[in-house]
Amino acid sequence: MTMLPDARSRLIAIVRERSYRYGTEITLASGRKSLFYFNMKPTMLHPDGARLIASLILDRLADDGVEADLIGGLEMGAVPLAAAVAAVSSLEGRPIGAFFVRKQAKEHGTKSLVEGLAAGETMAGKRVVIVEDVTTTGGSAIKAAEALKAEGAEIVRVVTVLDRQEGAEEAFAAAGLPFAAILKREDFRSEG
């Protein structure tokens, strides 16, 4: 099911309202300082925001001819994204399972680094899409990709909801990871 043409515009409006701030210097996860900041959690956890993000990710994968078994990424940002995509993918008849990669393996129970797989299931041979909420340098997604490749997964795409356009695209190219962004910093240029 392809989204209506205004889905992207509607998502931009939700991000502007709930997740975008400009004017106060903030330190990013990459260590860089910035006057503009995207905290995508309020958008990702909003009913329309979650649905729009999931549908736009699924449409982008379909438009690019990407077939995947699983979608997920590094905790915490990837968790609501992967869950939303899994739910919407089932409703739209193009199911993709969800998972997430822990920053550190559990020290108890299964001691798993990757969560979401059933007992006996592995990442070996799985076609995987890595998702991120905001991408600056690409370091988090590259870390997730390395962990997943070590488990035997094939990374078929990295998708971010918002690319800050600060080097991630080049970092992914250097790492051999195909990359797509649903939204880019340039979509918010009118405010700084």
pLDDT digits (tens, 9 = 90+) for 123-139: 999 999 999 999 988 98
Q: How confident is the model at residue 47 (pLDDT cuts 50, 70, 90)?
A: very high
Q: How confident is the model at residue 22 (pLDDT cuts 50, 70, 90)?
A: confident
Residue range 48-63: mean pLDDT, rounded: 97
Q: What is the pLDDT of residue 5?
A: 61
User: Residue 15 CB: number of other CB atoms within 10 A?
Assistant: 25
pTM over 0.95: no
Q: How confident is the model at residue 35 (pLDDT cuts 50, 70, 90)?
A: confident
C-beta of residue 160 within 8 angstroms of C-beta of residue 133: yes
Strands 114-115 and 127-135: unpaired
Spatial distance between the Cα atoms of 32 and 20, rounded to a whole number of angstroms = 17
C-beta of residue 109 within 8 angstroms of C-beta of residue 91: no
Q: How confident is the model at residue 109 (pLDDT cuts 50, 70, 90)?
A: low
